[in-house]
Amino acid sequence: MDDIIKLVSFGEPEIDENGNEIPTEIEVSVMCTVGDVTRNEFYQAAHAGLHPDVTFNLSDFWDYNGEQIVRWTDPKGKKHEYTVTRTYRLQDSDGLQIVATERARTNGSGN
């Protein structure tokens, strides 16, 4: 495991002064190995209308609790945010692979 990702979930929303619900994020840092999507994985996902970009291999499946957002800063310092496409338990280990698709940035900042 040579990298760190942040798995993001949402807790109970907070209420602002106008009565609007503001989602509260819960981030958990997890060690992983970042990898490419295999050709087979890519074509299977494309058949289902998905376009996976990256895999994150966790050494322990217990580190993942159904989070649907993954944040990762690449070695060049660029920040990425992904939506989990699917997960599966690695054979012959306690590991888990997360297959994810990069989310579009809406604020234009690129961070």
Q: Considering the domain boundaries, does residue 107 fall inside one?
A: no
pLDDT score, position 32: 95
Phi, psi dihedral angles at 3 (to 5 degrees) = -145, 170
Per-residue pLDDT of the chain (111 residues; tens, 9 = 90+): 699 999 999 999 999 999 999 999 999 999 999 988 765 665 565 556 556 789 999 999 999 999 999 999 999 999 999 999 989 898 888 999 999 999 875 554 445
pLDDT score, position 42: 56
Q: Considering the domain boundaries, does residue 21 fall inside one?
A: yes
What is the domain-level CATH number for residue 92? 2.40.10.270
pTM (2 d.p.): 0.79
Q: Considering the domain boundaries, does residue 109 fall inside one?
A: no
Give the 3-state secondary structure percentages of the chain, helix then strand then coil, rounded to 5: 10, 50, 40
Q: Considering the domain boundaries, does residue 45 fall inside one?
A: yes
Q: Considering the domain boundaries, does residue 110 fall inside one?
A: no
Q: Considering the domain boundaries, does residue 74 fall inside one?
A: yes
Residue 32 and residue 60: Cα distance in Å, rounded? 9
Range of the domain at 38: 3-102
Q: Considering the domain boundaries, does residue 108 fall inside one?
A: no
Q: Structurally, how many domains does the chain consist of?
A: 1
Q: Considering the domain boundaries, does residue 97 fall inside one?
A: yes
